[in-house]
Structure 1
């Protein structure tokens, strides 16, 4: 039996400083604009829910390093256990001369979860595009 899990990685250089990006990753009203509705708080151990039109994701904050890294669980419980996704999302911010490299890794996709893996790969690219739009509108 294959127990290897797969990881989605999306990395993009964004022309905004880490502090501004951090706000968009950790303030609920901003998260709602680029990702999903939520009750997020940047505190280790905080449990929160991300809610989209298609359903919801149960999350638990694992690490908070202001301006540098944010990690939380990303658990989507489905009616069919084969579609349950138990994963971890990690954002890493690296300052550059012209802004910040934002790296997102979502680990924990089982080999048979091809649809979830493909959806996440596509979805995070879209979320990053939305995030850039939100950043452009922020003070």
Structure 2
């Protein structure tokens, strides 16, 4: 049993602005979670949020940057579990940016959800990607200089 998410957006902003929103750790903390991200291949970083022990999550997403193509593509691992060293979720996030008319087409592929428990996690995460995350990203993009 496996599930992958593919979520597509169109933002009326240049790819450079959308890229900044995806790669500036201060901005990422505003629309996603607190983090120590750097857009450098090999950089290991973490996202931090409120733990959800009943869902087997300690509130930390363990990540490693695998690919960076300026203003076009960002790939990193996305792993989590009930405590450090115990990983129950091992997935991959791929952000792809494409110039599209007056703005940017952004595609998120969150792949590798395996097993019933992680399928349920993917449903929860998909809702977050489509609703709250989208709303917060739009707000940040609209507030950026030159927006």
Q: Runs of 4+ in structure 1 displaced over 2 angstroms? A: none
Q: 1:27 aligns with which of 16, 24, 27?
A: 24
What is the match of residue 54 of structure 2? none
Instruction: Give the TM-score normalised by structure 2.
Output: 0.86
Q: Is 1:7 paired with 2:12? A: no
Q: 1:99 aligns with which of 103, 121, 128?
A: 103
**Displacement of 1:127:** 1.1
What CA distance in whole angstroms lies between the structure 2 residues aligned with 1:17 and 1:64?
A: 18
**CA RMSD, 1 decimal:** 1.7
User: Residue by residue, what CA displacement relative to the aligned partner does 1:52-78 show, whole Å, maximum 9, x if unpaired?
Assistant: 123110000000000000000000122
What CA distance in whole angstroms lies between the structure 1 residues aligned with 2:134 and 2:65?
A: 20
User: Residue by residue, what CA displacement relative to the aligned partner does 1:79-102 show, whole Å, maximum 9, x if unpaired?
Assistant: 5xxx81100000000101120010
**Displacement of 1:120:** 1.4
What CA distance in whole angstroms lies between the structure 1 residues aligned with 2:80 and 2:143?
A: 30
What CA distance in whole angstroms lies between the structure 1 residues aligned with 2:6 and 2:82?
A: 23
What is the match of residue 121 of structure 1? 126
**Displacement of 1:128:** 2.0
What CA distance in whole angstroms lies between the structure 2 residues aligned with 1:89 and 1:37?
A: 17
**DSSP-derived class of the 1:117 partner:** helix
What CA distance in whole angstroms lies between the structure 2 residues aligned with 1:130 and 1:56?
A: 20
Q: 1:72 aligns with which of 71, 76, 95?
A: 76
What is the match of residue 63 of structure 1? 67
What is the match of residue 38 of structure 2? 41
Q: Is 1:134 paired with 2:134? A: no
**Displacement of 1:44:** 0.2
Instruction: Give the TM-score normalised by structure 1.
Output: 0.91
Q: Is 1:110 paired with 2:114? A: yes
Gaps (5+ residues) in structure 2? 52-58
